[in-house]
Amino acid sequence: MIREITALYRASTTGKEFAAALNERGYRLIKADRRDLCIVDAAGHVHSIARRIEGVKASELAIFMQDINSQVLPTAAEARRRI
């Protein structure tokens, strides 16, 4: 999973492009309770994006993802219901 998410991140130029690539691979970008952005995999497990991308600091990721409005993203519970 880490290699796949890292490759998707590195192939993207914006947060929106990265989110679309994640969605194409079966991951859902969500607004998490404790963290700003996470992903839910096809099994319904929640993962911190920053922990799934090699060599990227959380502060760098936050800047990269600033074109994403986290307020309109589903919560983990909502994303799990959609799976």
**Separation between Cα atoms, residue 5 and residue 24, nearest integer Å:** 12
**Separation between Cα atoms, residue 82 and residue 61, nearest integer Å:** 26
Please list the pLDDT of the chain residue by residue as tens digits (83 residues): 999 999 999 999 999 999 999 999 999 999 977 767 899 998 989 999 989 999 999 899 999 999 999 889 998 888 878 77
- Give the model's pLDDT for residue 35: 64
DSSP 3-state of 38: strand
pTM for this prediction: 0.88
